[in-house]
Chain A
């Protein structure tokens, strides 16, 4: 072991274990977990990987930026973001997901690619490559002192918002009839329809819930990255998709944990790697993804090899 490497490693570990870095990493993990749930919910019910999920968030970001440039209040901006993302989600469900229901996964994935690039092009035409600035929530980037440690307000807001969203989603899935129908449809869509579960209603509900999460993510992300461009959230979506696969696509819980894990690891690596190496961050993250997939192809948090049989 040579001296520079050892001291570099010590420095890395010291940075990585700082409380501030940990809180930031957890908050990034929380945001990525929300995106993973949004993607996982739709995948569960429709068996469709929605690559265009990032563009929903992008649209929400532009809504926030628009409201901010108009000088409207924060709450109007958030409401507009919600309306835009939910409307776009419903249009997507009606125009793309519903007609493709039951098609092969490849067809559906390619279709959502097309939707993603379509939305990105529309944004490019409409707002230009430089995008717009969403500044109305910028004050959340200020820090507060918690026990002598400086922590950004947005980190706390993101963690709380994610916890609330996941809690509400859990209530929806576990305590309501439509939630039960969604879970059943995710397990066996065909049989669910035979017992009277309305296919259009569960797919609409999954897409709507997923849209609500996209809107929340749009608000949280624009605080940290106020410049909204047509490629806003694209990189994050690709990383979350990798996280979802690493966690295990077949169960919502494992997909969520995968999203959280990849966000957390990105956060820690991003903060603790020396500045001149941070450009290699995606390489490090995806290197880990490949490693995990080699060791546990069924997913890091999946329940072993599939043993559940449908008798």
Chain B
């Protein structure tokens, strides 16, 4: 048995004595999408920040393909193969689309190779090719979200973390984002998706964990997508 691409074991994160995440364990294998849903303040973003090394772990362990990430700086975790699409995208608005993408190369482990190192992602997001020389700040929300995902993919990560990628987007763009995730799952990435859109996430993901008050309460599979009652019950409990 090989180790899962991403394994989180007994993760506990505390802010000033109050634990935001308690004893959370989950794994994501290569070629899998795992969803993480729950109300605001449930600890979803905190979990992603803990994986990226932005907030310290009070207990537990995060490992990447069996290699523990504990104690590494965010940039070292990025270079080890974890890419984050942060909430609110966090693009560099004054830099061009191309420069934002080139920043993603900072974490690429196998060098830039021959030819255009950005070609791969530009093929996935043709609109970015069109606006390559434009400042990222002037793009529409949907284009910016595509750029944020593309910037993460440029690094050729083995694990992709997404923090509410559909937030504030028009329905058509949400469709695009979700179908893109489906495409990159097929390429063997391990994807951990934090979302507010519960039903769509459950339908897309291989399994979806429901997080409330920092603890995993329930795990749903795609067949539960229409079973909204159980979802609602889990939210309220």
Contact = CB atoms under 8 A, between A and B. Distances in A.
Interface in A143-194: 177, 180-181, 183-184, 187-188, 190-194
B103 A195 contact: yes
B95 A310 contact: no
B99 A180 contact: yes
Given A194-B84, A310-B93, A199 B75 contact: yes
Contact of A188 (B92, B108, B151): B92
A5 interface: no
B164 to A, nearest CB: 14
B91 interface: yes
B106 interface: yes
A191 B83 CA distance: 12
A16 interface: no
Chain B contact patch, size range? 20 to 34
A193 B74 contact: yes
Contacts of A197: 75, 103, 106
Nearest to B152: A195
B84 A180 contact: no
A202 B115 CA distance: 26
Chain A contact patch, size range? 20 to 34
A301 B56 CA distance: 41
A309 B93 CA distance: 8
B95 A195 contact: no
Interface string B216-237: 0000000000000000000000
Greatest chain A CB density within 10 A among B83, B103, B151 is at B103
Interface of B: 52, 54, 73-75, 78-79, 83-84, 86, 88-95, 99, 102-108, 137, 141, 144, 151-152, 155
Interface of A: 177, 180-181, 183-184, 187-188, 190-199, 308-311
